[in-house]
Amino acid sequence: MQYIISIVLIVAVGVGGFFWANRPQLVLIHASPPANFPTDSFSHRVFEELLYTFVDSDGNVDYESWHSSAESIARLESYLAAVSLYSPDNAPDRFSTRTEELAYWIYGYNAYVVNSVLANWPIESVTDLKAPIEAIKGLGFFYRLRYRFGSEDFSLLGVETNKIRKRYRDARIHFVLNCASESCPVMRPQLPTGADLEELLAVSATEFVNDPQNVSFDHAHRSVILSTIFKWYESDFLNDLRLHGLPVERGLIDYVASVAPDSMHDDLAMADDYDIEFRDYDWTLNNTAQ
């Protein structure tokens, strides 16, 4: 019995030490919202203008130029000041539709990702921002760092899981959330809200699966090679099919087919009994200098 108690105590101390070492680190924004920020809605205009300035046609970000512009950093912080103050939870009157709410969480997430890269510049990967005990790759960036959304503090993982995935149950969000890495969905400058967000989600899904880096076919070896994103969030993609009454017999292949362009349908039709493989995730920064 004494041996068991000792083991339990050792495990408890180890777990406690892990969580103490990796206790949350809050990232505060010391700025005011943009001038003339609306009083009855939420505007993403400032962030959108910055993205049009620093995102290239391939969806990569010119972090060096952004970091070198004190005015541009200040503008990003002013946008994040608004994200910090107002959210669909504490200021529901500012968000008249569910798609406006969803836009807030997506764009706020992406803006905090950019802000953290700039605040720690230069880095080669978001995985460079490690937790004291880095048990899982990305733990420091996606879990330990906490960001304010409408007076509440969340990790990026918390926002993605609890505010976006659970609330909106739309697997296409995985094609617009940007983690500042080469294997992420591209960063898109346009930030539509309301009904226009539906078009962005549809286009993003189609373009993502149409990129051979995310979906490719090896007919000689009867395999389909998918982005690791499909492995991480497989349940989201399959539940999305079920939610829309679509078949799930081929699993992830059926989801890809549901959003794929016509040009992919012949390949997908041949892939009924193919093995699925997942491409290694490239955590290299989505930097224009790469």
The percentage of residues in the chain with a pLDDT greater than 90, rounded to a whole number, is 86
Q: Is residue 79 a part of any domain in this protein?
A: yes
Judge whether 288 lies within some domain. no
Mean pLDDT of 97-108: 97
Question: Residues 233-249, buried b or exposed e (16+ Cβ, 10 A)?
Answer: bbebbbbbbeeeeeeee
What are the strands, taking DSSP E only, across the chain? 25-27, 145-149, 152-154, 215-218, 223-226, 275-278
Q: What percent of the chain has pLDDT over 70?
A: 91
Question: Pairing relation of β-strands 25-27 and 145-149?
Answer: parallel
Separation between Cα atoms, residue 187 and residue 178, nearest integer Å: 6
Mean pLDDT of 195-209: 97
Q: Are residues 94 and 62 in the same domain?
A: yes
pLDDT single digits (tens) 121-155? 999 999 999 867 776 777 899 999 999 999 899 99
CB atoms inside a 10 Å sphere around CB 194? 13
Q: Are residues 127 and 51 in the same domain?
A: yes
**Are 115 and 185 found together in one domain?**
yes
Determine how many CB atoms are found less than 10 A away from the CB of residue 129: 20
What's the confidence (pLDDT) of residue 136?
A: 78
Asked whether residue 116 carries a pLDDT value surpassing 90, the answer given is yes
Residue 83's pLDDT band, with cuts at 50, 70 and 90, is very high
Residue 163: band (very low, low, confident or very high) from pLDDT cuts 50, 70, 90: very high
User: Is 290 among the domain residues?
Assistant: no
Instruction: Please say which residue of 207, 225, 257 terminates a domain.
Output: 207
Contacts of 285 (CB under 8 A, 6+ apart): 63, 117, 123, 124, 125, 126, 180, 181, 182
Domain range holding 44? 25-207
Same domain, 166 and 50: yes
219 and 261 co-located in one domain: yes
Average pLDDT of every residue of the chain: 92
Mean pLDDT, rounded, for 205-217: 98
Q: Are 159 and 106 in contact (CB under 8 A)?
A: no
Q: What is the pLDDT of residue 132?
A: 73
Phi (first) and psi of residue 96, to 5 degrees:
-85, -15
pLDDT at 84 over 70: yes
Q: Are residues 192 and 219 in the same domain?
A: no
Question: Cα separation of 85 and 29, whole Å?
Answer: 10
Element (H, E) at 244: none
Number of domains in the chain: 2
Higher pLDDT, 290 or 223: 223
- When mean pLDDT is compared across 38-52, 106-120, 136-150, 165-179, the lowest value belongs to 136-150
CA distance 73 to 63: 11
What is the mean predicted confidence (pLDDT) over 172-181? 98
Give the pLDDT confidence of 4-63 residue by residue, as tens digits. 554 544 434 444 443 435 679 999 999 999 999 999 999 999 999 999 999 999 999 999
> Domain for residue 74, yes or no?
yes
CA distances from residue 198 to 177, 215, 284 in whole angstroms, order as listed: 15, 22, 29
pLDDT at 13: 40
> What is the predicted pLDDT for the residue at 9?
42
Given 207, 242, 268, the domain boundary residue is: 207
More confident residue, 201 or 134: 201
- List Cβ neighbours of 9 (8 Å cut-off, separation of 6 or more): none
Determine, yes or no, domain membership for 68: yes
Q: Catalogue the long-range contacts made by 50-57 (C-beta closer than 8 Å, 24 or more residues apart).
A: 50/75, 50/76, 50/79, 51/187, 51/188, 51/189, 51/191, 52/189, 55/187, 55/188, 55/189, 56/288
pTM for this prediction: 0.92
Nearest C-alpha neighbor of 114 from the set 157, 168, 72, 172: 72
187, 246: one domain: no
The 10 Å Cβ neighbour count of residue 49 is: 15
34 and 157 in a single domain? The answer is yes
- CA 132, 136, 138, 144 dihedral sign is negative
Q: In terms of domains, do 49 and 35 share one?
A: yes
- Tell me what pLDDT residue 161 has: 97
